[in-house]
Amino acid sequence: MIKDRIDALRHKMAEWGWDVAVTVGEDPHNSEYTPKRWCQREFISGFTGSAGVVVVTKDHAGLWTDSRYWIQAARELEGSGIELHKMVSVEDKDWIRWIEQNVPSAGKVGIDGLCMSMGEAVQLENAIAGKGARVVSKPDYLEALWPDRPLLPQDKVWIHEDKFAGRSVKDKLTWLRGELAGSGCGYMFLNCLDQIAWLLNIRSNDVEYCPFVISFALVGPECVDLFADVSKFDDKTRVRLKEDNVTLHPYAEVGDYIKCFRADGKILIDSGSLNYETGKAIAESFGKENIVEGSSPVELAKAVKNETEIDGFRKAYIQDGIVQTRFFKWLEESVSSGCKITESDASDKLHELRAAMPDFLDESFETISAYGKNAALPHYSTVRGKDAVIEPHGLYLNDSGAHYKYGTTDITRTVPMGPLTDLEREDYTLDMMAMIDLAMAIFPEGTPGCRIDAIARRPLWQAMRNFGHGTGHGVGNVLSVHEGPQSIRQNLKDQPMLPGMITSDEPGIYREGYHGIRHENMILCSSMGENEFGRWLGFETLTRTYLDTAPLILSLMDRRETEWLNNFNRTVFEELSPCLTPDEKEWLKYKTQSI
């Protein structure tokens, strides 16, 4: 089937006069998670990972993706005729260099300009300009090959109430207009769904696991023009928008509206996220001389949580701690008693327990339920009928999360299902040490995440082990479970960690064909005080799910690590036990006893 699609695309490329066709995995909003309608990379290649680029010429088809997906991609591309090109990290642009080397002189490189950012398209244009080649944008070009292409979601829009958001829309817009004025701008075009949802306190279910509204927003000095499916807004929501001077327009009219828009003053755009087609429309309307390119101030503002949001996260982790206590108790007892439990069964049970909790909205991402060697795939996807049975030995990894009305969770636990090998215990211990060491870190104000990443990797590096993904990502408040601008990873990025940022702490060890181990807590960046050497920051752990100590090789750990672990498990028990049944309470008491 994939071969047929590639052949059909090549036929269209010949018709359009293209030498190269590029398919990225983003939607018009540069989203990490995309609605089914825009899963174009998956449609043309069969690859289901969340990052990668497909490049097709008349005699070559390739997928470029980073190390998180090498194993997965190799499996999914088998028999497709598409070659896997391995990128070291998601930031690499090897596919652009490959096109530069392989495009013919005066050739044409076709893109879907609605689904590629201005920044990426301009990089591509600059790379091939020396050969006299040019980029040609044809929005939705795969439509011609996709007769049953999914429609856009029709879920209603709802208000994320101020009592959960901690700030009103009026307050946020006043702040943003002040930021724009400081940049000499009267306008800003917002392209990213999470930023629009945060700014206008609106949510929907347009993107699986991400409660976004598919929309664009033009913020002006007095009003906001919001482009979305107008049928999704009920009278109550429309009234709220009108109170904040937000005018609603049909989603499909954004391009024509922008082209006809005339305003005095400059406009701020983020070319790293704004799609190529809309960027051209803005340049046509405002003039290139009135465009200011820069990072969206909304990105940082939503990453620094206010006290209301932080309290909501704390409450959400209590809820999830109760759920996970019940889940792991059920799993341990079921498997040890001889019940046949598959990875899918475990995932279903966890969903059932979460859905029964007050204020639960949805999962925050697809649950990774992985036993044994399947856990060696950091982004393993459970497929019913092809999933493993969880046996009473070895390690089981569960990475899952939820949206509650007041906060979003993301938790990974690796637990023993019975006897373990010495290597499993050693890797388990080293990874636990890595997670704890980052949680205990203290660092000077102004330090970016890339400079503290090595703290988590130190125990692994000393044992000559490593992992290919980042150590920590930001988490949105009833938004995306992955958000920036902060991150804790080796890639150089100068965004400092700031008080109020909530970030994951999730080092891992993966041995293909054997096992995978990841321990993940969520940590809140907090002030640790000030002295003659400056201001100091550290982390408060928000997660309230126990850490299993049974597999640990205590001789590898130092006193500070075991003290931290004992204190963490003691806190988990104290805060969760009033919410548990006597049987659950007794089980958790055993799991959290001091070592």
Q: Would you call 88 exposed, middle or buried from its count of C-beta atoms within 10 A (0-12, 13-18, 19+)?
A: exposed
Fold topology of 158-302 = Creatine Amidinohydrolase; Chain A, domain 1 (3.40.350)
pLDDT at 90: 60
Sheet strands (E) in 204-351: 216-219, 224-228, 246-250, 267-269, 291-293
Distance, in Å, from the CA atom of 108 to the CA atom of 574, rounded to the nearest integer, reads 64
Closest among 33, 98, 118, 43 to 366, alpha carbons compared: 33
Query: Region 491-495: what's the mean pLDDT?
Result: 90
Percent of the residues in the chain that have a pLDDT greater than 70, as a whole number: 99
Residues in Cβ contact with 336 at an 8 Å cutoff, skipping those fewer than 6 apart: 392, 418
420 in Cβ contact with 551 (< 8 Å): yes
**Which tokens hold the place of 304?**
């620094």
pLDDT at 319: 97
DSSP helix, strand, coil percent of the chain (3-state; round to 5): 40, 20, 35
Which pLDDT band holds residue 32 (cuts at 50, 70, 90)? confident
pLDDT at 70: 86
Which pLDDT band holds residue 92 (cuts at 50, 70, 90)? low
Sheet strands (E) in 42-113: 53-57, 61-65, 83-86, 108-111
User: Does pLDDT of 72 surpass 90?
Assistant: no
pLDDT at 517: 98
397 in Cβ contact with 516 (< 8 Å): yes
pLDDT at 230: 96
Chain centroid to CA 13: 33
With H, G, I as helix, E, B as strand and everything else as coil, classify residue 449. helix
pLDDT at 563: 98
Beta bridge partners of 510: 516
Q: Lowest mean pLDDT of 33-42, 210-219, 322-331, name the range.
A: 33-42
Residues in Cβ contact with 355 at an 8 Å cutoff, skipping those fewer than 6 apart: none
CA separation, residue 124 to residues 111, 226, 251, 282 (Å): 10, 30, 28, 20
Distance, in Å, from the CA atom of 259 to the CA atom of 191, rounded to the nearest integer, reads 16
Q: Mean pLDDT over all residues of the chain?
A: 95
Query: Region 365-372: what's the mean pLDDT?
Result: 96
Q: Would you call 499 exposed, middle or buried from its count of C-beta atoms within 10 A (0-12, 13-18, 19+)?
A: middle
Report CA dihedral (292, 294, 300, 301) to the nearest 10 degrees. 0
262 vs 40, residue with greater confidence: 40
Q: Lowest mean pLDDT of 72-81, 220-229, 462-471, 563-572, name the range.
A: 72-81
Beta bridge partners of 500: none
Which pLDDT band holds residue 524 (cuts at 50, 70, 90)? very high
> Tens of pLDDT along 399-450?
999 999 999 999 999 999 999 999 999 999 999 999 999 999 999 999 999 9
> Tens of pLDDT along 152-175?
888 999 999 999 999 999 999 999
3-class SS string, 499-539: CCEEEEECCEEEECCCEEEECEEEEEEEEEEEECCEEEEEE
Query: Region 99-115: what's the mean pLDDT?
Result: 95
* 61-65 and 83-86 beta bridge pairing: parallel
- Report whether CATH 3.30.450.20 matches the domain 304-591: no
pLDDT at 334: 98
pLDDT at 89: 66
Chain centroid to CA 450: 18
- The answer to whether domain 2-145 and domain 158-302 are alike in fold is yes
Query: Region 134-144: what's the mean pLDDT?
Result: 94
User: Does pLDDT of 93 surpass 90?
Assistant: no
With H, G, I as helix, E, B as strand and everything else as coil, classify residue 1. coil
Q: Give residue limits of the domains in the chain.
A: 2-145, 158-302, 304-591
User: Does pLDDT of 143 surpass 70?
Assistant: yes
pLDDT at 458: 98
Which pLDDT band holds residue 34 (cuts at 50, 70, 90)? confident
Query: Region 485-499: what's the mean pLDDT?
Result: 94
DSSP code string of 115-141? SSBHHHHHHHHHHHHTTT-EEEE-TTG
- Report whether CATH 3.20.140.10 matches the domain 2-145: no
* Residues listed for the chain: 595
Which pLDDT band holds residue 91 (cuts at 50, 70, 90)? low
- Runs of H (alpha helix) within 337-421: 343-355
Query: Region 276-293: what's the mean pLDDT?
Result: 92
Q: Lowest mean pLDDT of 21-35, 106-120, 314-328, 559-573, name the range.
A: 21-35
Per mean pLDDT, which of 79-93, 480-494, 533-547 is the most reliable?
533-547
- H-helix or E-strand spanning residue 408: strand 407-408
Which pLDDT band holds residue 187 (cuts at 50, 70, 90)? very high
pLDDT at 18: 97
